[in-house]
Amino acid sequence: MPGHPLGNTATLSVARHVQICSRPLSCADCPLPQISQHSLHRLIALTPVSPRLGWHGLCPWGYAPSRANHTLRVISGDLGQLPAKVRDFVERSARLCQPEGIHICDGSEAENDATLALLEREGLVRKLSKYDNCWLARTDPKDVARVESKTVIVTESQRETVPIPADGATGQLGNWMSPAQFQKAIDERFPGCMRGRTMYVLPFSMGPVGSPLSRVGIQLTDSPYVVASMRIMTRLGKPVLQALGDNDFVKCLHSVGRPLPLEGELVNQWPCNPEKTLIGHVPDQREIISFGSGYGGNSLLGKKCFALRIASRLARDEGWLAEHMLILGITNPAGKKRYVAAAFPSACGKTNLAMMRPTLPGWKVECVGDDIAWMKFDSDGRLRAINPENGFFGVAPGTSATTNPNAMATIQSNTIFTNVAETSDGGVYWEGIDQTLPPGVTVTSWLGKAWKSGNKEPCAHPNSRFCAPARQCPIMDPAWEASEGVPIDAIIFGGRRPKGVPLVYEAFNWRHGVFVGSIMRSESTAAAEHKGGSPSILRTFIFLLLTL
């Protein structure tokens, strides 16, 4: 078909149109001619395309009555230089979301400076004069944590995702959504959701670029806050595209859900749509779709969404493990070094343990990662692990020079703080920071109110965060970016139990250790909606357990 967006692939695309859309072929604005039912069946039979869950239920060219003439305007980068699969993903998503322009991120310092300057102009962040290139963001108070009740796994069968309870019982071990329900939810949210905004294309690597243990994702987002944060948390930019080539990748689509011009006012200039927030994972298609939240746990899709939920399916299919674990190296006074992985829920001390400063003479601790471990047995049968992340997304309250001096050293520069308090001399403040304020210095809470010690309300949100580059940590292990990973000698399971159990105890053997780990309990975190039981203290990421 001359002049068609897909050139000579019209036959293949007709079949895709039918299989992805499940809509009449003669859409009002579709350039394809009408076709008989007999010919349609023949085309599908002759074309090697498997039916699959589509991204948005639209024609793959983006043709639909209200979206046919949307122009793809690239304001930075070159669509033609993208790998074909990436370009197709970007073009289809752009025709759905209708952004004002497309910015293909290269990961450069200049681009990062421009992104932060844009955030400052729009009132989304404030520069903290006390530190070097540090910034403070305050979110809408309705958008402060992961939203478990609106986080779903999409599979054909419910049993693939969660146990099916008996009649009358309510399951609490995850949220399943059928492909049809999810398609309807997408159709209600995404058409035109980026109007007036820029769609940023973020090519990112989870793990060192080019490592056999690493995986690549492409995130599309309309949030410059996400762009700046993903540059810290992942390896981002041109080298990732070069390493990707024509290989497959995890597709990540995110929107804050507030097209321009706005309907209604923003709180703290923070765009979000809490009423329609939805975070969906389609493991069979390696896809993540997030709408309505700008908070890191819901919008930095390389973190829990990719690195645990989707990665757990990748790991099951490919023979490795994706775990909610820190990784650290411990060297004894004799110079013998061991690497340990440790599984704790969020806000239970993973970061503090990963950055521990030993008090015993002669002992040394070095950090590989503080949150997620990807592990695989090598050709010699040795379990090896990488930290797929490139930064720390740590809980601020409770972090101090006493509890975690290495974290405090890490966050002195190039850090984005979210929902912490601000001091009048350009610093940050939170519960447990253990710093005496200089005379005359005042504190403004995360809600923008004057705050004094003794106030009933906390100065920082309990789930307030710092987002800092891992390379700035003074005790990063020399092998933290090793392509082959580090050898794991022990695994620790833990939680947060202030009373009633020993601080540390040892399992009798590996089988007993698995049992002990599976029955551990932990107090709920500030980010948790559910306060009941949590198998293996991993409720939020239980899909990981069910698919291994």
Instruction: Clarify whether 21 is annotated catalytic.
Output: no
Catalytic residue (one of 17, 92, 309, 324):
324
Backbone CA torsion sign across 197, 207, 113, 445: positive
Question: Which of 17, 146, 303, 350 is an active site residue?
Answer: 146
Q: What is the DSSP letter of 119?
A: H
Compute the residue count for the chain: 548
Q: What is the distance between the alpha carbons of residues 64 and 57, in angstroms, rounded to a whole number?
A: 10
Residue 115, token pair as written in the block: 């992104």
418 within 8 A of 467, measured Cβ to Cβ: yes
Close Cβ partners of 138 (under 8 Å, ≥ 6 residues apart): 268, 270, 418, 419, 446, 447, 448
Is 254 assigned a catalytic role? Answer: no
- Residues 157, 160, 163, 166, Cα dihedral to 10°: 20
Compute the CA torsion angle 28, 97, 202, 74 (nearest 10 deg).
Answer: 70
- Whether 465 is a known active-site residue: answer yes
Q: What are phi and psi of 83, to 5 degrees?
A: -55, 150
Of the listed 304, 350, 384, 461, which one is catalytic?
304
How far are the Cα atoms of 138, 413, 455 from residue 444, in angstroms, in the given order? 11, 21, 12
Answer yes or no: 425 catalytic.
Answer: no
Give CA–CA dist 279/186, Å, rounded. 11
- Name the helix (H) or strand (E) containing 369: strand 364-369
Per the annotation, the verdict on 146 as an active-site residue is yes
Burial class (CB in 10 A: 0-12, 13-18, 19+), 52: middle
Annotated catalytic residue within 295, 312, 367, 464:
295
505 three-class SS:
coil
**CB 312, CB 547: distance < 8 Å:** yes
Tell which residue, 245, 244, 248, has the closest CA to residue 286.
248
Active-site annotation holder among 222, 370, 371, 477: 371
Exactly one of 205, 223, 346, 534 is catalytic; name it: 346
Is 286 a known active-site residue?
no
Among candidate residues 183, 194, 171, the one with its CA nearest the CA of residue 278: 183
List residues bridging with 323 in a β-sheet.
373
Q: Which candidate in 189, 258, 303, 465 is catalytic?
A: 465
Instruction: Determine the Cα–Cα distance for residues 112 and 531; give it in Å rounded to an integer.
Output: 39
Q: What are the residue ranges of helices labelled H in 135-209?
A: 179-189
Residues acting as catalytic residues:
146, 295, 304, 324, 346, 348, 371, 465
